[in-house]
Amino acid sequence: MSRLEDLRGRIERREARVGVVGLGYVGLPLAVEFAKAGLRVTGFDLDGKKVESIQRGASYIEDVPAGDVATAVADGRLSATLDFGQLAACDVINVCVPTPLTKTRDPDVSHMAKALEEIRKRIRAGQLVILGSTTYPGTTFELFVPMLEGTGLKVGVDFSVAFAPERIDPANREFHVRQVPKVVGGVTPLCTELAAQIFRHVFDTVVPVSSTQSAEMVKLLENTFRAINIGLVNEVALMCDRLGLDVWEVIEAAATKPYGFMKFLPGPGLGGHCIPVDPTYLAWKMKSLNFPARFIELATEINGHMPEHVADKIGDLLNEGRIAVNGARVLILGVAYKSDVSDVRESPALDVIRLLADKGAEITYHDPHVPEVEIDGTPYKSADLTDDLLDRADVTVIVTRHADTDYERVVARSQRVYDTRNATQGVREGREKIRKL
């Protein structure tokens, strides 16, 4: 029996030891789900605070209940370590590290390369390596496979490699980890089969595709679809502003059509770990093939300029009250990139704050999920949303809509409100104070 055939049996019997490299918003939920399925899981990270937190049974990810972590650790199903030497004992290794962009908007694969180097040092026959980090088509086959085969082992014969993109949506209460179908593409059919087999323990549905490149493209298509449609509806919002129309009314009416229309909402810009980044990975790859990704480039341009539009409209609103932006007291409600999360990566709120601060505005923010944030070296701390804070602000700007914010009270106490998220839709009193995107 070959080592890979032996791995098939170990996976089926839930005897395979699973490693998860990168214990962030993707890696920790996956590690916990594997542990809940009865597999032994070791998490690897360079952040000692994360490792220590898991070892004492605590969670630092909002979507992962501390009780799930504590139970998995107490049962001996989950552990965490800084020691990458333990990768040698893992039968299945999932790579869930960040894939950001550089300052020049090029793919930054340095985190993946470091993880891959740690794996390469310990790769052995009978292991399955699965990349889950979002990246450009070809990364798994062009980067992972050659480095691992440089050890003398052969992919599909001695070890397996697959790509299975993460589909995490932070704060989504409707679809939990195991309910979202898992797409899997391997270098060989056996690689696909083994990866699908391990994921069937933790996902209700597994969707095999023909190659790692196809699986990589699936992820990029999903988020490029969202980015382009958000770009479209943001441009419609700019059109409605010029035409004197309420874009929110237009969208809600259009959404009553039972076919042929999908509702997307405008906003102050794109934020988060995927939507602003993933389409750029695809455009970068296509540029190397002399193929201009025109839809992506246009959507990126429109979405990227939305914070400037918001800052300009705030200036117009202040001007109505004969107040200069320079010296104006601006209260920002929400700096996280989306509702009910603490993640500020690529958040348009940071750009709005930066633009207004550059014009001399005095910025205060409130976000119950983000106690502090640093923007261009300037530290900010979340202020309590008191009546006095609302009263003193020259303008209150809703950038991120959080469920636990009383917008009825916000409007009642504020002098004027600029709402980028239609959070004040149901407010009954004081609507004359409100301006919307």
Mean pLDDT of the region 254-266? 97
List the domains of the chain with CATH numbers.
3-210 (3.40.50.720), 234-436 (3.40.50.720)
d(CA 236, CA 241): 9
Confidence (pTM): 0.92
Q: Whole-angstrom Cα distance, residue 209 to residue 405?
A: 43
The strand ranges marked E within 63-176 are: 78-81, 92-95, 128-131, 160-163
Q: Looking at the predicted structure, is the pLDDT value of residue 258 above 80?
A: yes
How many helices (H) and strands (E) would you count in the chain?
Answer: 15, 15
Region 28-50: mean pLDDT is: 97
Per-residue confidence (pLDDT) for residue 1, from 0 to 100? 53
Phi, psi angles (nearest 5°) of residue 157: -115, -55
Residue 421 has pLDDT above 90, yes or no: yes
274 is catalytic: yes
**Whole-angstrom distance, CA of residue 260 vs CA of residue 196:** 33
Provide the β-strand partners of residue 365. 332, 382
Confidence label for 103 from pLDDT (cuts 50, 70 and 90): confident
Over residues 263-274, the mean pLDDT reads 92
Region 409-423: mean pLDDT is 97
pLDDT 10s digits, 143-198: 999 999 999 999 999 999 999 999 988 888 888 889 999 999 999 999 999 999 99
| Neighbouring C-beta atoms of residue 205, cutoff 10 Å | 12
- Of 78, 83, 51, 80, the C-alpha closest to 67 is 78
C-beta of residue 335 within 8 angstroms of C-beta of residue 400:
yes
- Given 90, 191, 240, 274, which residue is catalytic? 274
Per-residue pLDDT of 197-222, as tens digits, reads 999 999 999 999 999 999 999 999 99
Q: Does position 5 have pLDDT exceeding 90, yes or no?
A: no
Q: Look at residues 97, 93, 163 and name the one whose alpha carbon lies nearest to residue 131.
A: 163
Neighbours of 131 (CB within 10 A): 28
